[in-house]
């Protein structure tokens, strides 16, 4: 049990650390090229961890993996493009709006019960987004908007993962998500000119995000999250934007304005409030 807690907390820290790393890596690669390389590497490495079970795929698994992979591709692509226009700290906090978004989508899609507490949590999160959109916080730029759509993709992925993933298919669905995300990223290449210069900075970012953030990250989430309560897991994942902000201030020396800090605090409060006694699984960034 303790190992599960520590593993998920370490995973959350890794995800937070990747925000400034990815932003720096985008100096050497376009967002689509980076996502394609990251998930192609992860898809190639993951079968080494789960051979040969990873290839025992049924028709239902293929359908579920395709849909989940599409959502993961949408989330990571929008997030990566967003990082070209906004700061790593803002991206981390705005991505965190997925926590209160998740029960909202669960209600819209499956009519799951949603309490007043969840509505208040969503209100706090979106109030935080509004605070960040003020001129003295830098305004709500294109990168912020893309990141909010990224959070929506992640929230939808969480909703479907909570209904589909079980011990008999977790390995296959992890690998299918990695493969589908990589393939969609490569198919997106003709949309714009691609650039990929394999510098040491880009290589380190690819290694960390592909191995720890994607291959091991997705597997650890699906493997250890069921061992603890949904409430505990949600609170752990709510720490991701905090790690992202700390990493950005440490690696990039970002000093956010006061309005941004106020908005971030409101978003964190919304995430924590929505985590209390929720039955929805939190998830991946």
* Alpha carbon 90 to its chain's center: 14
Count helices and strands in the chain by DSSP H and E runs: 13, 0
Q: Dihedral sign for Cα 71, 76, 82, 84, please.
A: negative
**Percent of the chain surpassing pLDDT 90:** 35
| Residues 110-137: b if buried by 16+ CB within 10 A, e if exposed | eebebeeebeebbebbbbbbebbbeeeb
At 59 the pLDDT is: 93
| Residue 231 binned pLDDT confidence (cut-offs 50, 70, 90) | very low
Task: Give the whole-angstrom CA distance, residue 201 versus residue 143.
Answer: 22
Q: For the CA atoms of the chain, what is the radius of gyration?
A: 18
Q: Provide the whole-model pTM.
A: 0.80
Residue 212, sorted as left (phi over 0), alpha (psi -120 to 50) or beta, turns out to be alpha
Task: Give the whole-angstrom CA distance, residue 158 versus residue 275.
Answer: 14
Residues 118-174: pLDDT tens digits? 678 778 877 877 776 665 556 678 999 999 999 999 889 888 887 888 888 889 999
Residue 206 burial (CB count, 10 A): 21
Q: Where are the domains of the chain?
A: 2-275
């Amino acid at each position: 049990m303790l190992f599960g807690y520590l593993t998920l907390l370490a995973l959350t820290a890794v995800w937070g650390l990747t925000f400034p790393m990815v932003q720096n890596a985008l100096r050497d690669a376009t967002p689509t090229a980076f996502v394609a390389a990251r998930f192609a590497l992860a898809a190639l490495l993951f079968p080494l961890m789960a051979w040969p079970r990873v290839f025992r795929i049924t028709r239902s698994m293929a359908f579920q993996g395709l849909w989940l992979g599409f959502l993961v591709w949408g989330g990571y692509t929008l997030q990566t493009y967003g990082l070209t226009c906004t700061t790593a700290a803002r991206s981390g906090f705005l991505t965190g709006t997925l926590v209160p978004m998740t029960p909202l989508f669960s209600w819209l899609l499956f009519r799951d019960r949603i309490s007043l507490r969840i509505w208040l949590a969503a209100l706090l999160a979106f109030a935080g987004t509004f605070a960040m959109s003020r001129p003295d916080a830098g305004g709500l730029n294109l990168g912020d908007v893309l990141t909010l759509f990224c959070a929506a993709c992640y929230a939808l992925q969480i909703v479907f993962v909570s209904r589909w993933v079980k011990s008999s298919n977790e390995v296959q669905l992890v690998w299918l998500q990695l493969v589908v995300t990589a393939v969609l990223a490569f198919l997106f290449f003709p949309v714009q000119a691609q650039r990929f210069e394999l510098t040491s900075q880009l290589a380190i970012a690819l290694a960390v995000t592909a191995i720890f953030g994607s291959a091991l990250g997705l597997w650890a989430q699906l493997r250890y999250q069921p061992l603890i309560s949904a409430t505990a897991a949600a609170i752990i994942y709510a720490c991701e934007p905090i790690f992202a902000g700390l990493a950005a201030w440490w690696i990039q020396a970002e000093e956010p304005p006061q309005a941004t800090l106020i908005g971030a605090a409101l978003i964190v409060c919304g995430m924590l409030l929505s985590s209390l006694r929720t039955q929805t699984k939190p998830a991946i960034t």
